[in-house]
Chains A and B, each alone.
Chain A
Amino acid sequence: MPVRYWPMQNPIAQLRREVDRLLSGFADAVPGGGVLAGVLRGQPAVNVWETADALHVETEMAGVKTDQVDISVVGDQLTIKIERPDVSQEGVTYHRRERPVGTFTRVITLPTEVDADRVEASLCDGVLRIDLPKAEAARPRKIPVHVGK
């Protein structure tokens, strides 16, 4: 089997992504980092897995309605945009305020070509699942061997 180089399977790239994501959480603690903080905090974490004929992307986003999610596929880039409106009320005391608000965008580079027209997404109990069927060219194909004459 040929070894294919996929950015998603490269452990160094994975580690780097992970560290970037973790560090983005610290933007809150940086004085004056207010603009960054709102953008980076609460960036959705994703799980990606693969089956023979599709890629599957899943992300958890509690409290988000279907009209607050925007998904687009351009080439091998999947973009998930989530809007969490700030519903804070005046005149109430907050004892905890951990749930993120704001607009978050996550761009994922897909390891294979997908059929953008057949991408499906569903949202259930705060879990968004996107099914991306692989493009015909990226699917495994069984090649029959004929008996030579």
Chain B
Amino acid sequence: MANETITKTPAEQTVTAEETRSGLFYRPNVDILEKADELLVLADVPGASREGIDIHFEDGQLTIHAKAPRRHENVEFLVHEYGVGDYYRTFRVAETIDAANITAEYADGVLTLHLPKAPAVKPRKIPVKA
């Protein structure tokens, strides 16, 4: 059909470099809301330090990496239901995002990301000259 577009799809292998990660990573719980003008990502990263939060957006791939410093050393737990470690999660964002204007806030262990949508490409009618 006519609405087919010719696009170059980036090769997966070259887009994301493999990271050498050591230790255990935790997958933060997230809420992703789509509003008219932006995508809102809320991620629970309790214990993460503000300086240790690394947010990366490249080729439609959003990566959240939050470092959570160890809180107890040489402690023998009577009850041990959760571990402490860094948070890591990656999303592929389908919408076109205005990457330059992504903003992030961190409060009370919740990371809030605002991903504004890029202005939509308006359909254009191309007149054919005689």
Contact = CB atoms under 8 A, between A and B. Distances in A.
Interface of A: 6, 8-9, 14, 17-18, 21, 45-50, 55, 58, 60-65, 89, 92-100, 108, 111, 123, 125-127
Contacts of B35: 92
6 closest cross-chain pairs (CB), A and B: A126-B109, A126-B46, A62-B109, A62-B44, A45-B81, A60-B46
Interface residues of B, number: 29
Contacts of B42: 63, 99
A86 B71 CA distance: 30
B78 interface: yes
Nearest to A13: B79
Nearest to B47: A127
B80 interface: yes
A117 to B, nearest CB: 22
B4 interface: no
Given A93-B33, A96-B32, A127-B109, 13 more contacts: A14-B79, A47-B80, A50-B78, A55-B78, A60-B46, A60-B47, A62-B44, A62-B46, A63-B109, A92-B35, A92-B40, A126-B44, A126-B46
